[in-house]
Structure 1
Amino acid sequence: MTEYPSLKHISIGALIGEAGGDPWQVDQTLQSGDPGAINDLGRAFYSAGACTAETYSEFAQAQQRFQASWNRENGEHPINDSAEVQRATTRLMVQRDQLPAIGVDLSNIAATLAETQRFSGMQVENLNTQLHYIDALIDQALAHDQDTSALEDNAITVTSGVLHQVEALRDDYGTKLNATLTDLRAEHGYDPAPIEDVDGDGEPGAEQRGRESTDYYDANQRAKDEALVNSDGPMTPEKADAAARLRDFATATNPSADADARRLAGERLDDFRMAHFTGPLPTDPMVGGDARSRARTRLEWQQKLEQGAFGTNPLTPDQVTQLLDDSEQHGRVLVTQRALDMLQREGVSKEGAEALISKASSGIPWNELVQQNTDLMSGFSAGVGGYAKGLPVNAHDFDRMSLSDVKAISEFGKYTGRAATIFDAVLTYEDIKHGKPAGQAIGEFAGGTALGGLGAWGTAIAVSSVAGPEATFAAALVAGIATGELGKWIGGATGGLFDK
Structure 2
Amino acid sequence: MTEYPSLVHISVAALIGEAGGDPWKVDETLQSGDPGAIADLGRAFYSAGACTAETYAEFEQAQQRFRASWNRENGEHPINDSAEVQRATTRLMVQRDQLPAIGADLSNIAANLAETQRFSGMQVENLNTQLHYIDALIDQALAHDQDTSALEDNAIAATSGVLHQVEALRDDYGAKLEASLTDLRAEHGYDPAPIEDVDGDGQPGLEQRGRESTDYYDANQRAKDEALVNSDGPMTQEKADAAARLRDFATATNPAADADARRLAGERLDDFRMAHFVGPLPKDPILGGDARSRAQGRLDLQRKLEQGLYGLPPMSADQATQALDEGEQFGRVVAVKEAMTALTSQGMSEDGAKLVINDLLHRAGDVADGASLPLKGVETYAEGVPQGRHAKLTDLLSPEDAKIWRPIAKYAGTAGDVLQFGIAVNDFIHGGDNKYEELGSATGGIFGGAAAGWGAAAAAGSLTGPWTTAAIVVAATFLGGLGGENLGGRIGGYFDPSMAGGGGKSW
For residue 386 of structure 2, the aligned residue among 377, 380, 389 is 377
Q: CA deviation at 1:313?
A: 1.3
Contact in 2 for aligned 1:191/1:333 (Cα 8 Å): yes
Number of equivalenced pairs? 469
Q: Which residue of 2 aligns with 1:160?
A: 160
Contact in 1 for aligned 2:88/2:190 (Cα 8 Å): yes
Specify whether residues 51 and 452 from structure 1 end up closer, same or farther in structure 2 by C-alpha distance, changes over 3 A only: closer
Which ranges of structure 2 fall in alignment gaps of 5 or more residues?
Answer: 368-375, 485-507
Q: CA deviation at 1:312?
A: 2.2
3-state SS of paired residue (1:8): coil
3-state SS of paired residue (1:438): coil
Specify whether residues 146 and 182 from structure 1 end up closer, same or farther in structure 2 by C-alpha distance, changes over 3 A only: same
Q: CA deviation at 1:83?
A: 0.3
1:359 equivalent to 2:359? Answer yes
Report Cα offsets for 1:25-44 as digits up to 9, x if no partner.
00000000000000000010
Contact in 2 for aligned 1:370/1:410 (Cα 8 Å): no
Contact in 2 for aligned 1:36/1:75 (Cα 8 Å): yes
Q: What amino acid sits opposite 2:433 in the alignment?
A: P
Contact in 1 for aligned 2:343/2:425 (Cα 8 Å): no
Q: What amino acid sits opposite 1:378 in the alignment?
A: Q
Alignment of 1:4-43 (within 5 A): 4-43=4-43
Alpha-carbon distance in structure 1 between the residues aligned to 2:307 and 2:9:
64
Quick check: 467-476 or 42-51, which moved more?
Answer: 467-476
Q: Which residue of 1 aligns with 2:229?
A: 229
Contact in 2 for aligned 1:49/1:99 (Cα 8 Å): yes
Q: Which residue of 2 aligns with 1:417?
A: 413
Q: Which residue of 2 aligns with 1:431?
A: 427
Report Cα offsets for 1:251-308 as digits up to 9, x if no partner.
0000010000000000000000000000011111211111100000000000011011
Contact in 1 for aligned 2:297/2:447 (Cα 8 Å): no
Alpha-carbon distance in structure 1 between the residues aligned to 2:463 and 2:3:
50
Q: CA deviation at 1:199?
A: 0.3
Report Cα offsets for 1:93-140 as digits up to 9, x if no partner.
101111111110111111110010000000000000000000000000
Report Cα offsets for 1:304-356 as digits up to 9, x if no partner.
11011223211000000000000000000011111011111233221111122
Alpha-carbon distance in structure 1 between the residues aligned to 2:252 and 2:388:
41
Which ranges of structure 1 fall in alignment gaps of 5 or more residues?
Answer: 393-397, 487-500
Q: Which residue of 2 aligns with 1:315?
A: 315
Q: Which residue of 2 aligns with 1:252?
A: 252
3-state SS of paired residue (1:133): helix
1:50 equivalent to 2:59? Answer no
Specify whether residues 189 and 369 from structure 1 end up closer, same or farther in structure 2 by C-alpha distance, changes over 3 A only: farther
Q: CA deviation at 1:417?
A: 1.1
Alpha-carbon distance in structure 2 between the residues aligned to 1:282 and 1:438:
27
Specify whether residues 447 and 122 from structure 1 end up closer, same or farther in structure 2 by C-alpha distance, changes over 3 A only: closer
Contact in 1 for aligned 2:330/2:475 (Cα 8 Å): no
1:278 equivalent to 2:278? Answer yes
Contact in 1 for aligned 2:7/2:132 (Cα 8 Å): yes
Quick check: 278-287 or 243-252, which moved more?
Answer: 278-287
Q: Which residue of 1 aligns with 2:442?
A: 448
Alpha-carbon distance in structure 2 between the residues aligned to 1:247 and 1:467:
34
Q: Which residue of 2 aligns with 1:408?
A: 404
Alpha-carbon distance in structure 1 between the residues aligned to 2:111 and 2:479:
40
Alpha-carbon distance in structure 2 between the residues aligned to 1:482 and 1:220:
37
Specify whether residues 460 and 123 from structure 1 end up closer, same or farther in structure 2 by C-alpha distance, changes over 3 A only: farther
Contact in 2 for aligned 1:360/1:369 (Cα 8 Å): no
Please provide the CA RMSD for this pair.
Answer: 2.6
Q: Which residue of 2 aligns with 1:395?
A: none
Quick check: 461-470 or 75-84, which moved more?
Answer: 461-470
Q: CA deviation at 1:382?
A: 3.6
Specify whether residues 475 and 59 from structure 1 end up closer, same or farther in structure 2 by C-alpha distance, changes over 3 A only: closer
Report Cα offsets for 1:442-470 as digits up to 9, x if no partner.
44x24522466659x99998689456483
Alpha-carbon distance in structure 1 between the residues aligned to 2:76 and 2:353:
36
Q: Which residue of 1 aligns with 2:503?
A: none
1:136 equivalent to 2:162? Answer no
Q: What amino acid sits opposite 1:417 in the alignment?
A: G
Q: TM-score normalized by structure 2?
A: 0.87
Report Cα offsets for 1:162-193 as digits up to 9, x if no partner.
00000000000000010001000011100000
Contact in 2 for aligned 1:287/1:453 (Cα 8 Å): no
Quick check: 413-422 or 195-204, which moved more?
Answer: 413-422
Quick check: 13-22 or 423-432, which moved more?
Answer: 423-432
Alignment of 1:73-88 (within 5 A): 73-88=73-88
Report Cα offsets for 1:458-487 as digits up to 9, x if no partner.
99986894564832554576667798699x
Q: What amino acid sits opposite 2:342 in the alignment?
A: M
Alpha-carbon distance in structure 2 between the residues aligned to 1:87 and 1:434:
36
Q: Which residue of 2 aligns with 1:498?
A: none
Specify whether residues 331 and 460 from structure 1 end up closer, same or farther in structure 2 by C-alpha distance, changes over 3 A only: farther
Alpha-carbon distance in structure 2 between the residues aligned to 1:128 and 1:472:
53
Alpha-carbon distance in structure 2 between the residues aligned to 1:429 and 1:437:
12
Q: What amino acid sits opposite 1:308 in the alignment?
A: G
Q: CA deviation at 1:58?
A: 1.1
1:124 equivalent to 2:133? Answer no
1:93 equivalent to 2:93? Answer yes
Alpha-carbon distance in structure 1 between the residues aligned to 2:50 and 2:480:
43
